[in-house]
Amino acid sequence: MNIKPAGTRFGAYVANRFLLLSPLTAELGLRYDYASYTKDKLFSPRINLVYALGKQTFLRSGWGYFYQSAGIHEIRVEDGEDQFYPAELAEHWAVGLEHVFRNGILMRLEGYYKALSHLRPDYRNWANSTEFFPELLDRFKLNLNGAESKGLEFYARYDRGGKITWWASYALASVRDNTRSLVYQGIEYTEGSGYYPGRYNQRHTIYFDLNYRPNRNWHFNLAWQYHTGWPYTDQVIKTRTLPDGSTQYDWMYGEFRGWDNISAMV
């Protein structure tokens, strides 16, 4: 394969914030993205609203399109790809309630939903995904109709310009891929297609960050994170007896993140 991609990228964004109707503030935005090598000419409208429930309490909401064109270095030549795909699209919805207490603590509760479409094929491994050259191992290809991400997040922050500041958050989230087919060893499987846990789906996530500034020249920081595990496909060894009486050991895979019968198909 001999390809030498070249091209131009350009992006521009304009926004206007104004008082729509007291106490409601609106911000309307529009972004334009152009990529010559993918032929992307994209307009992304965005809307943000803030309603003041009081001097220290605000209700926020937002909606928008967010396109992501492929980088010029992102042709998957290691997986046999020789072309660019159109930009991926994420449509975002969010609503949140925010309050600032007298002691300086800010708290926010936010819910969000993201619908992803126009997704490029994704190449993954049954196992050993952290190898330096994963494309040389047990590779498969996922063709996706789309994906969705949704969740609820609680956030708290304390920063009054003093020596000690901190922030903490907890998120309850779900990520699902809408899988159209799976290609493994040159064979495309469509049985069992539909929504299944995303690659980095993690149900619970907790963050905590503490910063201490004894003076202008020194900062001491402590950070901690916890999250539940990501989906995975079981890999087990099974034995079978050959005609000559010897035993052979084979690697077998279980359900693909809950995808029924995938082990039987492949």
Do 144 and 170 meet the contact criterion of CB atoms below 8 Å apart? no
Q: Does residue 260 register a pLDDT over 70?
A: no
Residue 19 neighbours by CB under 8 Å, 6+ apart:
25, 26
- Mean pLDDT for the chain overall: 87
Q: Does residue 255 register a pLDDT over 90?
A: no
The proportion of the chain whose per-residue pLDDT surpasses 90, expressed as a percent, equals 58
Range of the domain at 33: 9-265
Q: Does residue 78 register a pLDDT over 50?
A: yes
Does any domain span residue 125?
Answer: yes
Strands 9-21 and 122-125: unpaired
Residue 66: count of CB within 10 angstroms of its CB: 17
Nearest CA to 199 among 87, 119, 82, 91?
Answer: 119
CA 252 from chain centre, in angstroms, equals 29
What pLDDT digit, counting tens, does each position of 171-209 carry?
999 999 999 998 888 889 888 788 888 888 899 999 999
Show the tokens assigned to 136: 């040389």
- Distance from C-alpha of 30 to C-alpha of 48, rounded to nearest angstrom: 12
Q: Does residue 263 register a pLDDT over 50?
A: no
Q: Which carries the bigger pLDDT value, residue 245 or residue 259? A: 245
Does any domain span residue 3?
Answer: no
Strands 204-215 and 218-227: antiparallel
Label residue 74 by pLDDT band (50, 70, 90): confident
2 — phi, psi (to 5°)?
-130, 100
- Distance from C-alpha of 202 to C-alpha of 143, rounded to nearest angstrom: 22
Strands 187-189 and 164-184: antiparallel
Amino acid in position 120: R
What pLDDT shows up at residue 16? Answer: 97
What pLDDT digit, counting tens, does each position of 17-44 carry?
999 888 999 999 999 999 999 999 999 9
Amino acid in position 60: R
What pLDDT digit, counting tens, does each position of 81-115 carry?
888 999 999 999 999 999 999 989 999 999 999 99
pTM: 0.82
pLDDT (average), residues 65-71: 94
Q: Which residue has the tokens 């206007």?
A: 16
What pLDDT shows up at residue 259? Answer: 45
Structural domains counted in the chain: 1
Does any domain span residue 196?
Answer: yes
What pLDDT shows up at residue 266? Answer: 32
What pLDDT shows up at residue 195? Answer: 87
Label residue 131 by pLDDT band (50, 70, 90): low
